[in-house]
Structure 1
């Protein structure tokens, strides 16, 4: 079972506080300073985010506010599909509320770019990201800002490590009937990407075989963690590493399983809307997202760092030792809506 001892927790807290303070006081580069001065005249930025859970998104907002006094970050947190629906409703109503949009479904950005709804901008801080994240769009309409790792978890009081599934294929074994919990691709972009990757890897009948095991279906990737905590289901499928590690750090008997095929990686962008009501604050927020401040803030809540100068969270496997699986943005745009409809047909929800 994964446990964080008191020494590790104290070290993590001390590092996070020191790193956050150091970053908040660090000198701004020229573009950041220019954007900050312009953003102060706008006063705020509204962030539609489906990438982080509520605690992490609020921590990111607080870190932004500490770094840039006078520019308030309004965090509107939901699942990615709900965030995109909200954005679509804004467009139909002819209103501009969102400045920066962050989703785990890369296909959203292909669609928004094609509709000329995004602003070109490349943050200077993007040059300091992990190499796999530095380029998201060659035309700079969106920029990688999040790396989520999705895998399997189990309640160790209900299923032992020896008996737990070891691969994605294992969850299709009939012995796990009525023992699985999973999110819904109609609400979560990450679950849509995961389902698409599983169908590609394990065959077109994957969803039907999964449904035969009668998983309990929630909405986001966080719901299976809640179900494991409550003892409702022993196995969480496509759970995020950070939500599971956070729950384990609070004393819940949860453990991560790194499937033998690899983890599903949600390498996800953010983008500025073309009709952003606070365009300078939006650009400043993109600098913040790709800089060390956001990674330092969310690492404290067990999210993956997207920069080499901010270490990974306690309890996670180094990315260099992990096989990462993910469809391309183009594959996600085509495949996620299709797999979402297939899910509804098969599961009836």
Structure 2
């Protein structure tokens, strides 16, 4: 008989994860092995550093996991001796908080790292954010990879949060090597999935699967009778407990939290893939505008951006494997409903 762990026993390890899930991936196990960069100097950067030191403050709103934000802000402070405070929440909560503050004329954040969405275009139009490409950031646009911007270049995308496959390592002895495993009849009754329309990233993933493998793939997945959940958290928790073999989507903080409690759950990083994109924004009417630009510069250089993504376990736009990440596009409601129907989702 299949070994099953108690869902209740795993619940404590997910107390923090419940707040992490909506931002997507992140949370590397190898932070101690990641060296913070020292950036090359230039007269333009020297002047920005001098102006930022006069600010001597910086407040960040971000969705990457807390340990990533703590590490990257500590590295920035070590490099430039500028103190940083940060608030970490999921994108929906942070965008609402930022909007309320900006609308009142008293924004608390100087820089934001949120999942890219129409929020950015709206905030730029309302004058709550300054276009980064016109802010005087030395590294941007500069050598920043072309194609990894949004809002006509005003918004740089700094992290690609790739969707992975989660599996129970006691029930699946060999890590899956293709998304097509979801359609393998051997996994009938063994699939535990977040509902395809539960997030824009999820429906974008299934649109990619439809484009790559065709409608027949989705109907074969449906024939395996997935059990549907309202998010990645309960789906992955149930796979970790042995209630099924494969989960969707695989989210690194969730899996790492469960692994830390001793659960037999792992990630398979497959391609092609897509997922949320984390974008950077500079607050208009910032209290510390030069420090915000300096922090943006830190994350928009190849060294700083690679460091950030090694900390979080995500893909840097500078990385060779960025080509395996298909940038998400909005899926029309009619197509989303058709995807749900093909998958047999509620």
Question: Could you state the TM-score of these two structures normalised by the residue count of structure 1?
Answer: 0.67
Q: Give secondary structure in 2 for the equivalent of 1:84.
A: helix
Contact 1:44 1:71 in 2 (8 A): yes
Structure with the greater alpha carbon radius of gyration: 2
Match for residue 164 of structure 2 among 138, 142, 151: 151
Alignment of 1:295 with 2:295, yes or no, is: no
- 2:61 aligns with 48
Matched position secondary structure for 1:96? coil
What's the Cα RMSD here? 4.4
Q: Deviations over 1:198-218 (max 9, x none)?
A: 677767xx79x69x7332333
Q: Deviations over 1:159-178 (max 9, x none)?
A: 3438x593269369795547
* 2:127 corresponds to: 116
SS of 2:274's equivalent in the other structure is strand
Q: Secondary structure at the match of 2:267?
A: strand
The aligned residue for residue 324 of structure 1 is: 325
Assess, with a 3 A threshold, how the Cα gap between structure 1 residues 195 and 61 changes in structure 2: closer, same or farther.
Answer: farther
Q: Is the 8 A contact 1:183 1:223 kept in 2?
A: no
**Structure 1 42/227 Cα, relative in aligned 2: closer, same or farther at 3 Å?**
farther
Which stretch of structure 1 is more off in the superposition, 238-247 or 117-126? 238-247
Instruction: Verify: 1:274 aligned to 2:288, yes or no.
Output: no
- Answer yes or no: is the 8 Å Cα contact 2:130–2:281 preserved in 1: yes
Distance 2:309 2:159 in 1: 11
The structure 2 residue matched to 1:60, chosen from 56, 72, 76, is 72
Residues 270 and 166 from structure 1, CA distance in 2 versus in 1: closer, same or farther, beyond 3 angstroms?
same
Q: Check whether the contact 2:196–2:206 (CA below 8 A) recurs between aligned residues.
A: no
Provide the C-alpha distance between the structure 2 equivalents of 1:67 and 1:190, rounded to a whole number of angstroms.
35
> 3-state SS of the aligned residue for 2:179?
coil
Counterpart Cα distance in 1 of 2:60 and 2:52: 14
Structure 1 partner of 2:179: 167
| SS of equivalent to 1:158 | coil
Distance in structure 1 (CA, Å) of the matches to 2:294 and 2:114? 18
Corresponding residue SS for 1:48: strand
Partner of 1:125: 139
Within-5 A mapping of 1:122-271: 122=133, 123-126=137-140, 127-133=142-148, 135-138=149-152, 140-161=153-174, 166-167=178-179, 170=182, 177=189, 179-182=191-194, 190-191=201-202, 193-194=204-205, 213-218=226-231, 225=236, 227-231=238-242, 233-240=244-251, 244=255, 253-259=264-270, 262-271=272-281
Aligned residues: 305
Q: Secondary structure at the match of 2:157?
A: strand
CA distance in 2, matches of 1:299, 1:44: 26
Secondary structure of residue in 1 paired with 2:124: helix
Q: State the distance in 1 between where 2:79 and 2:195 align.
A: 35
Decide whether aligned partners of structure 1 residues 106 and 172 sit closer, same or farther in structure 2, where only a CA change above 3 A counts: farther
Kept in 1: contact 2:159–2:277 (CA 8 A): yes
Structure 1 gap ranges (5+): 1-11, 309-317
Deviation string for 1:127-164 (max 9, x for gaps)?
Answer: 3444443x4444x42112112211212112123438x5
1:105 maps to 116
